[in-house]
Structure 1
Amino acid sequence: MSDTADLVHRLLSARTWRAFDVDADGRVLAGDDTSGSVQLVELTPDGGRRTLTALPGACSGRYLKGISPRTVVVSHDSAGDERAQLSLLRPDEVTDPVGEDGLEPLVRDPAHIHSLAEVLDGGRVVYATNRRNGVDFDLVLRDVEATTETVLYDGGGMVGGAAVAPDGSGALMTRPGTPAMSSQVLLLAGAETREITAADEPALFGGLQWLPDSSAAIVTTNSGRDRTGIARLDPATGTVTYLVTDDAHDVSGRLSPDGASLLVVTDDDGASRLAIHDVTTGAHRVDVVTPGVGVGDFLTVPRWSADSQGLALTWTSPTIPADVVLVDAASGRTGTAASSVDDLEGLELVTPTSVGVPTPDGETVPCFVYAPEQPSGSSVLIVHGGPEGQSVRSFSPIVQALTAQGHTVLVPNVRGSVGYGKRWYSLDDVELRLDSVADLAAIHDYLPQLGLDPARSALWGGSYGGYMVLAGVAFQPERWAAGVDIVGISSLVTFLENTSPYRRAHREREYGSLERNREFLERASPLNRISDVRAPLFVIHGANDPRVPLSEAVQVADAVRAGGVEVELVVYDDEGHGLAKRVNRLDAYPRAIDFLGRVLG
């Protein structure tokens, strides 16, 4: 194996950890991908570790509360199909990691999705499921020991977050609002469903958590603001009272079980600043000393300990793949419960600088620049998915591998990205879609100011980022030398026609409706400009992708090939929307990196 191939293999093989939950005795339910996909591992306060699962694909879990024996709810799917199933596992009975046959079914129907929403005291769980008609999601409360279920909501649409009042008087949930990137809060009280916030308000509501006395909820919202803040929501009146805000940054929060403390997370240009605040006044108590400049991986929500004395969270940075970090709420000190850095010992990893790229229409695109020690003049632009995603200061084996080969890597947050306010993430809605594509051209025009060769620049992206790759090479063919498209959209029309029905209803708010916006969707689809493509392409897709069907990759590869342009299509039969298994990443990504090395010289 060559030095470059060995480096890429080490980077892609680096172990990553996730913090899923903390139990009353201080044990941490963690995720570890040493096996090649994320499996459950229990970390004990004395430093012990025990692997609980050996499933064929990635899984996650939560501890059940107030039930004996100790029980974990496991969420898992099949080959990346995203149809989550719920099962039970008794960690004290595990001697060897269990496969699917070692799990006790809780909510199983492989044809539909059952997403865990909340774990309650008394051995109860709340989950969202589309089993009624395959499109709309219902919210269901299940008593695990009694095996009884109560439907809390069946009013149609997607279900976001949910929170049941501690006194049992009702539940709050979010569902998508009418505008793109908006959500509405509903109160579920017996047979009554009441709208707490307006469906047409262009605002986000998330992170719902009731105060212990059930008098109000703590939410993260940007109602009436450009930036998100932490607020108290009165369920009787819908009144939002802000507790913690920052006019220059998005702020989110996580309430402690005793209702006295808040973990406050400030998004500072793709880096997380953490602090502990008082709930009643919102006043700052102590800053959390994080392990360098990085970001909490808040796809796994930070979990407070039962006694409200600390938290477990996932932490990553450009030099830390992903660790489980424990936070002492009183002092702000942190400790690492599970570390990922040993696998990368001795490697010189690159950290980014941040630049603002000007656009012709007067905007500024935030962009991270990862510069190799010996730049070759070539560059690779990596565009995040979403579109309402955000590129952050996290570990990326792809970024590190590309810089090791001499490419300068640029990671932008084009308009439509979250993390920079409501105005910025709304600038690509529906018929503004191509303005975000124009940001790619602005970044390309900026390359000479970074000392880079505009003729040797490529695009790389997954999901919506894959759409951006294809749009770049189709709409700006003179600019880009190559493209790597991973589970990307080649036609907005065929994507909406063929994606899962539940996703179509949700995504049309952002992209536009087939009924009302079809002409624009056709015009904004790279497939309709594919004859202009000159850049060779490397296309990666999962056969079981429920979001962006495999047909999106097949049709663009066929069309590019028919135009006499080089294209390689790689399909993995055991993957869904992206590559969850390390064995597939170790196959696909080195080939894609070699492809760029060859094309960019």
Structure 2
Amino acid sequence: MVKSDRHLSHLSYDRFTQYFRYGAVDTLGDNSVIYTSDINGQFNIWTQSYSGNAVPGYQRMLTAFHDRTVRDFAVSPDGRQIYFMADCNGNEQFQIYRIGSSGGDPISITSDETVRHELNKGSIHPGGKLIAYCDNSRTRTDFDLVIMDIRSGREKRPLHEGVIWAFPVWDKTGTCLTATQINSNTDMHSFIYNMRKSKTAEIMPHAEEGVVAAVGWTEEGKVLVVSDIGHEFRNLFLYNPENEKLMPVFEGKNDVDGALYTPVTGEVVYAINTDGYTELYRGRPGSRFARIQMPCRGHLSSVLSGMSVDLKRRNLAIVWAPDNRPPEIAIVGLSKRKSSILTDSMAGGVPGNIPSPELVHFESFDGRMIPAFYYRPAGRRSRFPAVLSIHGGPESQERPGWGYEGLYQFLQCSGIAVLCPNIRGSTGYGKSYQKLIHRDWGGDELRDLRAAAEWLRNRREVDGEGMAVFGGSFGGFAALSCVTRLPEFWTAGVDICGPSNLVTFCKSVPPFWKRFMRDWVGDADTEADFLMERSPITYIDRTKADMLIIQGANDPRVVKEESDQMVERLRQLGRYVEYIVFPDEGHGFTKSENARKGFGAVARFLVERLRGKD
């Protein structure tokens, strides 16, 4: 374990937030990268040049939004135009814009603020005249595939079968594109649409529940496919549309997080998830793949939009998240097999070394070993308090890194341990493990959390009388479940935009979510008793912990009323609760100032409750 510098314990939380966040990344043809970052306080598009062995050049801001957040973008084939999607104050009603890569004013491609539009990296036609995206303008419950003529604005909807379409990617010729039909987190079908023939063919047709996700094309017209059909994990294949044959690229006991094809070398680069860490590999299909060495352990911070290839320099640009520092833009040389960090967003922030988390496992009620990351304070001889942090999703994964704007690292340096489990329902451990959360919110995963609390309490170094629970989104629901249904463990609890009442939650989700709710959580109309039996608000009178609840007023996923009703009942019962509402945010934080305020309040609250105001 790395020993931390003693003086880090005296740093304020603000020092841990003095860095820049990065989102999507891509490359331009002029030896520069393009990415989204909150350098100016809001996620905008920036470019940065580099030369030689990834020697960084200057940064230049292309967009200058304050109330809008750039979420993702696509670069035109000639590199002259950037198409991007952005929403206002976290409402997730994404609109599509265009801006020149050399600058200028953004031009609206779409403008209906009641409609959600989603583009993908492969959305721009090779000829540059068409854009493929998905929207729910025809009906708010579905997402159609839309192909728009950029000059005239004329559009057609070749795929609109009353489902959710996503992730369109054009092939090299511009004749075909792939799109994925999403039925649930564990059931996806991918198709090839031939524009000339107006025909659609399914890739790897399957009747059973499973994932087939097309992620890219090769120069020869083959499709890179991530799939778990016939496998426990999501493996990588090369699909030939001519004869419908599959060539395995990676098969193993790890999920493939992302993959892309590099036309200059004819190689495939893919990322696999190993206990939350990312391993990158490169090679030609049918031959042996070599692991790419990174400067430090970590993971891809942005899986869908976090990898791109510079064809001229044969460099891979990624958003890389070390396990004890904030994410950075990294350049990986595919020819020399070397990598380097291009950005240094933490300059002026936290000096010295902070211990990396330890991967641990604890046994749950049914004998399952639950993986978790344990952020332990270094150099502490006396017993210390602890926080149990529960990730959102629930079908996502806690990964090692600069958690929640440096909150984990601040707590470490303040003498507070953090345990971050990947309870049943988490991704990265096989589809059987992931599906255990379906229709079981507030069920066996709460027993996993009891086991986590007992594991902490039984640790010799942990003060079992000083424990708190924290989480956002599903993690907020789980935190509320902990303080109401496992009240004996907690001194304090923090909930950020978590559902408190599963009946009202299921009824208030976005229209295009409602098709999922019965098989994911439950049916609010026919199973209200079951859902109320699993809802934290049902057990609110058992709460002993002091509470901090944070909510975005514009949250479309977990509406503000979910937090309002919890706060109102706690106050009626005379319990201690702090309630912070951000009027210009949605589900989480888009603006860096709000993120610092929100997590700053969490940091202050936890330190005061667990270590006292001194």
TM-score by length of 1: 0.92
Question: Partners of 1:423 and 1:162 in 2: how far apart?
Answer: 28
Please give the per-residue CA displacement for 1:554-580, whole angstroms capped at 9, x wherever unaligned.
Answer: 011111222221111100000000122
Distance 1:154 1:239, change over 3 A: same
Name 2:323's counterpart in structure 1: 318
| CA apart distance, 1:169 | 4.2
Name 1:112's counterpart in structure 2: 115
Question: Partners of 1:443 and 1:171 in 2: how far apart?
Answer: 46
Question: Partners of 1:217 and 1:197 in 2: how far apart?
Answer: 11
Structure with greater proportional strand content? 2
| CA apart distance, 1:585 | 2.2
SS at match of 1:521: helix
- Letter in structure 2 aligned against 1:255: Y
Alignment partner of 1:149 out of 137, 147, 155: 155
Question: Partners of 1:185 and 1:259 in 2: how far apart?
Answer: 26
SS at match of 1:456: strand
| CA apart distance, 1:19 | 4.7
Please give the per-residue CA displacement for 1:414-461, whole angstroms capped at 9, x wherever unaligned.
Answer: 110001111211121113751111111001111113521222111111
Q: What residue ranges of structure 1 are gaps of 5+ in the alignment?
A: 95-101
Cα contact 1:258–1:308 (8 A) shared by 2: no
The reply on whether 1:208 has 2:215 as its aligned counterpart is yes
SS at match of 1:147: coil
Distance 1:594 1:147, change over 3 A: same
Question: Partners of 2:276 and 2:194 in 1: how far apart?
Answer: 39
| CA apart distance, 1:582 | 1.8
Name 1:589's counterpart in structure 2: 599
Question: Partners of 1:207 and 1:450 in 2: how far apart?
Answer: 48
Question: Partners of 1:437 and 1:49 in 2: how far apart?
Answer: 46
Please give the per-residue CA displacement for 1:110-157, whole angstroms capped at 9, x wherever unaligned.
Answer: 111111122331223211111112221111122323433232311122
Name 1:579's counterpart in structure 2: 589
Alignment partner of 1:163 out of 152, 169, 190: 169
Cα contact 1:196–1:237 (8 A) shared by 2: no
SS at match of 2:401: coil
Name 1:98's counterpart in structure 2: none
SS at match of 1:54: coil
| CA apart distance, 1:78 | 0.5
Alignment partner of 2:106 out of 95, 103, 106: 103
SS at match of 2:88: coil
Alignment of 1:170-185 (within 5 A): 170-177=176-183, 181-185=186-190
Range that drifts further, 315-324 or 538-547: 315-324
| CA apart distance, 1:61 | 4.8
- Letter in structure 1 aligned against 2:559: P
Distance 1:168 1:248, change over 3 A: closer
Cα contact 1:126–1:142 (8 A) shared by 2: yes
Alignment of 1:40-119 (within 5 A): 40-46=45-51, 47-56=57-66, 57-66=68-77, 70-94=80-104, 102-117=105-120, 118-119=123-124
Alignment partner of 1:486 out of 496, 510, 529: 496
Cα contact 2:31–2:313 (8 A) shared by 1: no
Name 2:511's counterpart in structure 1: 501
Please give the per-residue CA displacement for 1:43-87, whole angstroms capped at 9, x wherever unaligned.
Answer: 12341321112101321453532458x211122110010111111
Range that drifts further, 510-519 or 403-412: 510-519
Name 2:367's counterpart in structure 1: 362
Please give the per-residue CA displacement for 1:74-112, whole angstroms capped at 9, x wherever unaligned.
Answer: 221100101111111123244xxxxxxx31111221111
Alignment partner of 1:384 out of 382, 385, 391: 391
| CA apart distance, 1:482 | 1.5
Alignment partner of 1:412 out of 416, 421, 434: 421
Question: Partners of 1:493 and 1:450 in 2: how far apart?
Answer: 41
Distance 1:249 1:574, change over 3 A: closer
The reply on whether 1:459 has 2:463 as its aligned counterpart is no
Name 1:393's counterpart in structure 2: 400
| CA apart distance, 1:159 | 2.0
Alignment partner of 1:295 out of 278, 293, 299: 299
Range that drifts further, 491-500 or 193-202: 193-202
Please give the per-residue CA displacement for 1:530-573, whole angstroms capped at 9, x wherever unaligned.
Answer: 12222121000100001110110001111122222111110000
Range that drifts further, 184-193 or 558-567: 184-193
Name 1:97's counterpart in structure 2: none
TM-score by length of 2: 0.90
- Letter in structure 2 aligned against 1:580: T
Please give the per-residue CA displacement for 1:474-520, whole angstroms capped at 9, x wherever unaligned.
Answer: 12111222110001111121111012111222344322333454432
Alignment partner of 1:34 out of 35, 39, 43: 39
Alignment of 1:322-341 (within 5 A): 322-341=327-346
Alignment partner of 2:574 out of 564, 583, 595: 564
The reply on whether 1:23 has 2:32 as its aligned counterpart is no
Distance 1:251 1:315, change over 3 A: closer
Cα contact 1:539–1:568 (8 A) shared by 2: yes
Distance 1:242 1:508, change over 3 A: farther
Name 2:524's counterpart in structure 1: 514
Name 1:352's counterpart in structure 2: 357
- Letter in structure 2 aligned against 1:303: S
Question: Partners of 1:42 and 1:236 in 2: how far apart?
Answer: 39
| CA apart distance, 1:265 | 1.0
The reply on whether 1:275 has 2:281 as its aligned counterpart is yes
Distance 1:432 1:568, change over 3 A: closer
- Letter in structure 2 aligned against 1:380: V
SS at match of 2:437: coil
| CA apart distance, 1:249 | 5.6
Cα contact 1:305–1:311 (8 A) shared by 2: yes
Distance 1:239 1:547, change over 3 A: farther
- Letter in structure 1 aligned against 2:224: I
SS at match of 2:347: helix
- Letter in structure 1 aligned against 2:332: V
Please give the per-residue CA displacement for 1:288-345, whole angstroms capped at 9, x wherever unaligned.
Answer: 1212111111343301123482211101113321211111112321122222232335
Distance 1:352 1:405, change over 3 A: same
- Letter in structure 1 aligned against 2:223: A
Cα contact 1:17–1:339 (8 A) shared by 2: no
Distance 1:367 1:146, change over 3 A: same
Question: Partners of 1:354 and 1:540 in 2: how far apart?
Answer: 29
Cα contact 1:89–1:104 (8 A) shared by 2: yes
Alignment of 1:178-193 (within 5 A): 181-190=186-195, 191-193=198-200
Q: What residue ranges of structure 2 are gaps of 5+ in the alignment?
A: 1-6, 52-56
Cα contact 2:256–2:270 (8 A) shared by 1: no
Cα contact 1:257–1:307 (8 A) shared by 2: no
Aligned residues: 588
Cα contact 1:209–1:218 (8 A) shared by 2: yes
| CA apart distance, 1:200 | 4.6
Question: Partners of 1:264 and 1:432 in 2: how far apart?
Answer: 33
Alignment partner of 1:437 out of 446, 459, 468: 446
- Letter in structure 2 aligned against 1:276: R
Distance 1:249 1:103, change over 3 A: closer
SS at match of 2:326: strand
Range that drifts further, 327-336 or 572-581: 327-336
Range that drifts further, 416-425 or 582-591: 582-591
Distance 1:369 1:61, change over 3 A: closer
Question: Partners of 1:132 and 1:30 in 2: how far apart?
Answer: 32
| CA apart distance, 1:209 | 1.3
